[in-house]
Copies of this chain bind each other. A is one copy, B any other.
């Protein structure tokens, strides 16, 4: 019997999140206030986030207990299956063992629900009944919509205009869960109005949508909070349930990974699958190759500057020391909308800077070629974002074949592509473009960086 589907019993689900902060090899530079450039205090964050999340953001506790209510919510779809890709291995004729964590089985279709239910919960218990957020491709907006419906909260999603128009089904999905979905830039915020006045035909960007969502929360007098789907430490640590489950599941079949792979937009799914293993690398001397994969169209890690920058376009967020293409940078319209982000979680950037992890950039067409092979072998259509991890997992498996190495590869299938069929259609019809950005374009993006010594 081939054990394709490595499950974990519900009562064996890890009940603590892993926080990488105390394990960092070198101390991290603090987040800075956007106006004063002084280290951000918990009070500075209170307008946007509830106490529970602010505490986690700055926590130096290695493991943080998951409240029972969130455990119950997780059990709606967790533990997720770990799958051994026997058919893919056979198709590649590789001696490598390929495992993937299947986060696509969540009701929202991706890993994003791991943090959205936690964020909704901490807001709810602090008396908040309304959240705002932004979404690009729609995975995050969907996840927050579901979480808010679970906790009977209002949810307003600023959806990047180009996606709002191109993806009516994704929009409908959020509305089905009861969310209000607005195209960004919108005329409901000052920043949105300003952008619309300057560029009436703009397609919008994630940075602009973040600014709008933050503005609504900041001006609400405390009744509305803001929710972010990636980048921040509390988001990364909520996602570590992925890697922790995977570790137990691998252990149950006597395996441990030589290579761990995740795609990287803001960095949360990558952190989720990899940080529990990075822990072993930092603290137990495990030899693991940890790879973050990004698109060449938005090469934050491979070609960005290591610098302090804002998380949004308007410059309202704290400044984080990160890899960045500049907060004004608008990446080409690749289909992996979740990877079209100029910046990076500071924790992921820190590990990259100190060579604990490494990064790879891949083109769009090879990603879809890999996804088609994966779909034919494993049955699942990967989200374009997750496909970046699929592509590099396949590349590594081929390398193993060529070198005759029986390595164990683990990657995160962060979501399915059911709402991205236009992208597959475009690929099948030879209409996908590949983007290699010129040095000039990248240099121009970096002109907006604030002048702060890293």
Residues of A within 8 A of B (CB): 1-7, 9-11, 68, 71-72, 75-78, 83, 86-87, 105-109, 113, 146, 149-150, 168-170, 172-173, 175-178, 372, 375-381, 418-419, 421-422, 424-425, 428
Contacts and interface: CB of A to CB of B under 8 A. Distances in A.
Contact of A150 (B108, B372, B379): B379
Q: Which 4 pairs, one residue from A and one from B, show the smallest C-beta to C-beta distance?
A: A107-B379, A169-B421, A418-B418, A4-B75
Contacts of A3: 10-11, 75
A57 to B, nearest CB: 26
Contact of A173 (B1, B87, B421): B421
A178 B77 CA distance: 30
7 contacts: A1-B71, A2-B75, A7-B7, A7-B10, A168-B421, A173-B381, A177-B376
Contacts of A176: 372, 375, 381, 421, 424, 428
B72 A1 contact: yes
Given A7-B7, A7-B9, A379 B173 contact: no
Given A146-B379, A177-B376, A376-B177, A72 B4 contact: yes
Chain multiplicity (copies): 2
Contact of A169 (B6, B113, B169, B377): B169
Dominant secondary structure of chain A at its interface with chain B: helix
A378 B72 CA distance: 12
Contacts of A422: 169, 172
Contacts of A76: 4-5, 83, 87, 378-379
A365 B195 CA distance: 41
A80 to B, nearest CB: 10
A175 B368 CA distance: 13
A150 B150 CA distance: 38
B172 A425 contact: yes
B379 A428 contact: no
A425 B4 CA distance: 37
A205 to B, nearest CB: 25
A108 B375 CA distance: 10
A16 to B, nearest CB: 15
B424 A78 contact: no
Given A76-B378, A87-B150, 19 more contacts: A1-B11, A2-B75, A3-B10, A4-B72, A5-B78, A6-B10, A7-B9, A76-B87, A107-B379, A149-B375, A168-B421, A168-B425, A169-B418, A170-B421, A172-B424, A173-B381, A175-B424, A176-B421, A177-B376
A170 B68 CA distance: 39
A376 B107 contact: no
A188 to B, nearest CB: 20
Given A173-B421, A418-B419, A421-B169, A149 B4 contact: no
